[in-house]
Amino acid sequence: MSLEELLKEALKLKPQDRFTMVDGLLRSLDRPDAEIDAIWDEEAEKRLQAYRAGTLSGIPNGAPPQ
């Protein structure tokens, strides 16, 4: 089956089924990377500690960054 044929068939699906298909395809392209996750975990912890220590301030919700 060609890609064009596959797309035509997919477009015949109910909207929820199309969503499920698209979600599955996108998830297959966005695999978690443990190394990047660890770096972000470390950065988030540093920022939290700095905020609690008073050396980093938060931005009020909806306020533009300065």
Q: Which residues contact 58 (CB under 8 A, 6 or more apart)?
A: 51
Q: How far apart are CA 7 and CA 22, in angstroms?
A: 11
Q: Does residue 11 have a pLDDT over 80?
A: yes
pLDDT at residue 53 above 80? yes
**What is the structure's pLDDT at 64?**
73
Structure tokens at 29: 């392209």
Task: Render pLDDT for 12-52 as a digit per residue (tens, 0 to 9).
Answer: 999 999 999 999 999 899 888 899 999 999 999 999 999 99
57, 51 in Cβ contact below 8 A?
yes
Three-state SS at 49: helix
What is the average pLDDT across 1-14?
96
